[in-house]
Chains A and B, each alone.
Chain A
């Protein structure tokens, strides 16, 4: 046997040891997330039992509480009502409460969607244009401009929040979807330009030059030849922008209140009677984290590449 390759190809024992430690770490690191998902399927009582219940009777109380507003009523009043029409009304009645209407969760969630997709589209589109220009043309002060674009990411959000707050108040953009889309677009732009420039650099110039010799204009060549080639990079960049907008909290909590507030500032406010309603918070958290987790697992190849990209480039 050739043992000289041992460092390049670790022994099977050391591989097994490494795998065992990594599995233990993965299990530990996933416990908090799984616990939150489990809590979302508990009822209010089993969520606050001690020792914590690992096995429990599943309940949709958390989800019902997440999507509805309820008020407590006297037993006599409840008796005077017609029988509950559906399972969730029955569940709420069994807690001596009645549903008074839908909660704000759906609205906040769809705000997250609108602002997330809107800003992702805008920052990837503008970022792709700028990245292409930086990648192909001789731009005066190119390195300074690129550094300027990157340095805008170092600002603490709170530092610029007051001026943006005042500016938005004057422009009528405060607490609007458009205002938040513009803001997140700008925050993501620096990342988008830097990531996409890396991907564009990898596409051979000859492609669009050939297209231009065939009679395409520069713009046509960009849209019909370069953009389709850069699709992988665009997808990776889009995921990063989407995750940022989806998760952003500081600007959302400072600049929005009623109309354009996204889910992250809202989830902490889901308060039940006598403290926090853990199953409802668990349900909100689960529904909110679900898209990101699915995205991460499906698109893991692009994502991992995107994360390490900046590091490898430098």
Chain B
């Protein structure tokens, strides 16, 4: 890891070089995702493989939390990526679009499974005279789960040292000073990473929220 010197100039500003470096890898990341989305829309199968490798854990975990059944979660995951491929032309490539779009598809698949469960339960209840298992409105709980998972996934794919810094700050709740000591970076650099990381997560979440409307 390169240690970027804390700039002497500029009073309260947290480091020109830091920000420049931060911006450049952010832009790189965005460009990679954008290019991936564009290739998917164009029908490149390798793009689907990359999309799967990058976001299948997100989709699978979402389905698992929503359905509480490993088999159903697996099946939904498969359906989501097959559907993603078949409806790839509905994706508008942008840096935050892919996970949001996949979560959007996953929402529908989860709803299908729930509807099927509710149908089964209702039929059976009518036939066997058992009280029907109800399946109420899960939407807001699902949205919360989706957003938390998108945040987790987005942090996991941040390049280090930002990834480590974000985990230390948000998961282990260390102070910026503690993190600076731990990772051996100046306090200003750590702060800048946390702030820009937060902005990145905000960008990803906006995509998800937009998709759910």
- Whether A associates with B in a native complex is no
